[in-house]
Amino acid sequence: MPRFSLDFKVVLPVGFLLVLGLLLLKSISPQLWSDQVIFSIVAVFIFILFSQIDYRILFSLYFPLFILSMLFLISPLFFGLYSRGSQRWLFLGPFSLQPSELVKPVLMLFFAVVAASEWDNKLRWLLLLGIIPLIAIFIQPDLGTTLIVGVGWLTIFSSQVSFKKLVSVYGVMIIMALPIYHFALRDYQRQRITSFINPNADPLGQGYHVIQSTIAVGSGQLSGRGLGQGTQSQLRFLPEHHTDFIFASLSEELGFVGSMVVVLLFLLLLRRIYEISQSVSDPAASAFCLGIMALLTFQIFVNIGMNLGIAPITGITLPFISYGGSSLVSMAFTLGIINSISTRQHQPLSIQIH
């Protein structure tokens, strides 16, 4: 096998999504474009770096990586600044880091190795050790990332248990949903769910985001207004038009055709990750791919859904398209590992994981 190898079924969809994201950002937020270019270059280098590292080396370091990720995850509670109702960012000069975003691939790696291990009572450990980082993310508060990581964690857990046990676990979670809604969610988080059910009840308040987003999506029609011509994003009627609601900006400027191209690229990427999960003989690598596929699917579905008004607003961004360095770096790390799995899955196993 060549020393440097790429899975182009992974690289090409992501490359096109990244270019589309940069073009769109240049149109709707040109002042942020240069930063995103820098983030993209850094992400490419990180992807190449982790593509070259045998994934089994990283998997063998699963426990120290988990400890380091947990320390990094709680660091904003001590060193971060309180901003916009949350304390989830670390500020380094002009740049900011979101630890909860950056630790996602490490957490999935850890869950996958535990699930594939020969630990006694490994499923109980997987449940316990999965709850700890979820609580740490939730109290920042960051409901969106909590849900994303939770979906990946539950997918990996579900792949290891019988249907009967799985029904019991999900039954307990459903029962716990009501008290969590009333006692754990903050007022603005509950208001987002209420505004999703009936956005017209408060059109200038909590329902404003959904209404403006659906207007932007609808006004794009078939082929869009053209880059730089979208009124909702250009005139700033659409809140968070470069992050949470960038799909609405894309739909307005590139229309139904542009939106479907983005959806198709995501589907190609997700299909390839699933194919890798089914072809690799390493159980930990397979579980990792399944967890990543699940959290990516959830993140994409929820972001597009809330832009269309069919999912509650949760502050979830669109991978590779939305502005943000932490997300790009995290995805580069993740896909670098997946590329390493894809290109090394038939190589002899030289590293044992206990």
> What are 219-234's pLDDT values in tens digits?
888 988 888 787 777 7
| Residue closest to 173 by CA, chosen among 136, 130, 113, 219 | 130
Amino acid code (one letter) for 312: P
Report residue 334's pLDDT band, with 50, 70 and 90 as the boundaries: very high
Q: What is the DSSP letter of 237?
A: -
- Find out whether 133 and 70 touch, Cβ atoms under 8 Å: yes
**pLDDT value of residue 1:** 43
Alpha carbon distance, N-terminus to C-terminus of the chain:
27
- Find out whether 339 and 11 touch, Cβ atoms under 8 Å: yes
pLDDT tens digits along 133-183: 999 998 888 888 999 999 999 999 888 776 666 666 657 666 766 666 555
- Find out whether 153 and 110 touch, Cβ atoms under 8 Å: no
Q: Which residue did the predictor score with more confidence, 32 or 200?
A: 32
Q: In this model, does residue 302 exceed pLDDT 50?
A: yes
pTM value is 0.87
- Find out whether 306 and 213 touch, Cβ atoms under 8 Å: yes
Orientation of helix 246-279 relative to helix 208-219, angle to 10°? 80
Orientation of helix 283-308 relative to helix 104-116, angle to 10°? 140
Biggest CA pair distance of the chain: 61
The two tokens of residue 290 are 């399944």
Structural Rg of the chain based on CA atoms: 20
The two tokens of residue 335 are 């896909």
| Non-local CB neighbours of 121 within 8 Å, separated by 6+ positions | none
| Non-local CB neighbours of 104 within 8 Å, separated by 6+ positions | 145, 148, 149, 152, 295, 330, 334
Cα–Cα distance measured from residue 101 to residue 182, given in angstroms and rounded to the nearest whole number: 26
**pLDDT value of residue 88:** 80
Q: What is the DSSP letter of 200?
A: G
The two tokens of residue 348 are 């002899």
Orientation of helix 30-52 relative to helix 8-28, angle to 10°? 160
Cα–Cα distance measured from residue 21 to residue 329, given in angstroms and rounded to the nearest whole number: 15
**pLDDT value of residue 226:** 85
